[in-house]
């Protein structure tokens, strides 16, 4: 039995199960402009988010394609969430964590999350791929607030090694194999949707953050509460508060580096 209530409608589990005979072992949550990995899925079937009863209904944001892809990737049975519901769109933290909750309900063991983020750490440049070693929750909310549900258990979960050390070693080995230089760093999650002020960027640097974004934290906390192993990547689409920034520029930077992240993901899957 899971430690916390999943809150996943049985209809969503059967909707996904109808598309495949295999139980998925890996789930991906693909961030802004990073959904190209879904093109690598063999025998893919697609479920629009609005056909999933439990998926929070929030408005679409450009670059966030809302669908679940089910199939095999590099031979591994997987589900891929193309796009997320963000808290800045009005989703609660519990809602924003739906991909992690549905993945757990499907029996997935490993959650791989990707996001577009602003670089705040020294030496980070647009187009860098950063392996997440940890996060700082500055969203002011928590997906475990209000849990535990009917199944009991405790929401007081440890967050040391939330980003799985063994999986991070696999990621480094995979990066070496494809000749990608992969740094590790800390993700600060903010509510958004405005980008940070220069004073906020200085604060984030002081706090020890390397990148800043508006997602990922809720699903990672929920995934850990549900016993999933987590791996996370940020694509640095801009240097935070470095210059005036548009959502289009963020998406454009994502396009170039997402090819690298796609190759890295495949190399990781071959090693799982
Ligand atoms: N800040 C927050 N979120 C982001 C950024 C940023 O600079 N770039 C992409 N997502």
Higher pLDDT, 244 or 109: 109
- Give residues with Cβ within 8 angstroms of 61, minimum separation 6: 32, 86, 89, 247
Domain range for residue 57?
Answer: 3-271
**Lowest mean per-residue pLDDT among 33-42, 128-137, 224-233, 234-243:** 234-243
∠ CA 29-224-145 to the nearest 5 degrees? 100
| pLDDT, tens digit (0-9, with 9 covering 90-100), for 47-105 | 999 999 999 887 655 545 689 999 999 999 999 999 999 999 999 999 999 999 999 99
Higher pLDDT, 265 or 243: 265
Burial class of 243 by CB neighbour count within 10 A (0 to 12, 13 to 18, 19+): exposed
pTM: 0.93
Q: How far is the CA of 208 from the centre of ligand 1 (A)?
A: 16
Atom of ligand 1 nearest to the CA of 239: 7
Atom of ligand 1 nearest to the CA of 213: 3
Ligand 1, atom 2: closest residue by C-alpha: 213
Number of structural domains found in the chain: 1
- What CATH number does residue 130 fall under? 3.40.50.1580
């Amino acid at each position: 039995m899971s430690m916390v209530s999943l809150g996943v409608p049985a209809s969503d589990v059967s909707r996904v199960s109808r598309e495949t005979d295999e139980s998925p072992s890996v789930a991906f949550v693909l961030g802004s402009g990073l959904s190209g990995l879904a093109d690598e899925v063999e025998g893919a079937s697609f479920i629009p988010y609005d056909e999933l009863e439990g998926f929070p209904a929030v408005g679409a944001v450009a670059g966030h394609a809302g669908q679940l892809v089910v199939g095999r990737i590099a031979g591994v049975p997987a589900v891929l969430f193309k796009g997320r519901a963000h808290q800045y769109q009005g989703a609660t933290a519990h809602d924003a964590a739906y991909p992690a909750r549905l993945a757990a309900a499907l029996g997935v063991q490993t959650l791989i999350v990707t996001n577009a983020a602003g670089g705040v750490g020294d030496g980070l440049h647009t187009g860098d791929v950063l392996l997440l070693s940890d996060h700082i929750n500055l969203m002011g909310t928590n997906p475990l607030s209000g849990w535990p549900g009917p199944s009991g258990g405790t929401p007081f979960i440890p967050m040391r090694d939330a980003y799985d050390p063994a999986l991070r070693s696999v990621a480094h080995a995979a990066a070496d194999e494809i000749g990608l230089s992969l740094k590790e760093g800390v993700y600060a999650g903010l509510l958004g949707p405005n980008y940070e002020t220069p004073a906020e960027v200085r604060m984030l640097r002081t706090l020890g953050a390397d990148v800043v974004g508006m997602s990922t934290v809720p699903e990672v906390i929920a995934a850990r509460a549900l016993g999933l192993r987590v791996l996370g990547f940020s694509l640095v689409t801009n240097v935070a508060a470095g210059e005036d920034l548009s959502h289009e520029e963020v998406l454009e930077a994502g396009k170039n580096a997402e090819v690298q992240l796609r190759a890295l993901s495949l190399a990781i899957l071959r090693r799982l």
